[in-house]
Amino acid sequence: MHEMLQRKREALGCGFVSKEAGLRPIMRLLGNGTSVGLLPDVKIPSGEPVPFFGKDAYTTNPARLALRFDCELIPVQVERLQGARFRVTFHEPVRPDDTQAERHTQALQMTRKVNALFKSWIRNRPIDWWCPKNRWPKATKVTNRVET
């Protein structure tokens, strides 16, 4: 499957950056004006938690990259129609509520919007969403011990 996807990407002139490569190759592409596709609904083990379905979830933050490289953050929705047919919808760019706020605040505003958008898509068509890992951090275990 991986080899087939790579061949299709190459035929379209698309590259692939593995997560092991880190952010540097992505930053280099954005710096050169190349479009980059990311999966921001994937759980990451670190970062800042942002609400997702009413619970804080560690979320990738493409908004930080969009702000840093002054590029558009465009949500792309893929819906399965029948068999191997899909509809791809490019939505309006996500923008911060307060363009005068510090960059960190703008990125959080944008990430909350992206998570809310994903939530609406998932609620509308839950069968189209696949998340192979538990999306939310495990709850802290409470014990009945007495601290001394």
Domain ranges in the chain? 1-36, 38-128
pLDDT band with cut points at 50, 70 and 90 for residue 36: confident
Q: Which residue has the tokens 């609904």?
A: 41
pLDDT band with cut points at 50, 70 and 90 for residue 144: very low
Cα angle at 80 between 52 and 133, to 5 degrees?
40
Q: Is the pTM of this model over 0.85?
A: no
Q: Give the torsion sign (CA, 59, 20, 62, 119).
A: negative
Q: Which residue has the tokens 């942002």?
A: 50
Q: What is the pLDDT of residue 23?
A: 77
Task: List the single range of 2-6, 36-40, 98-102, 121-125 with lowest mean pLDDT.
Answer: 36-40
Q: What is the pLDDT of residue 40?
A: 66
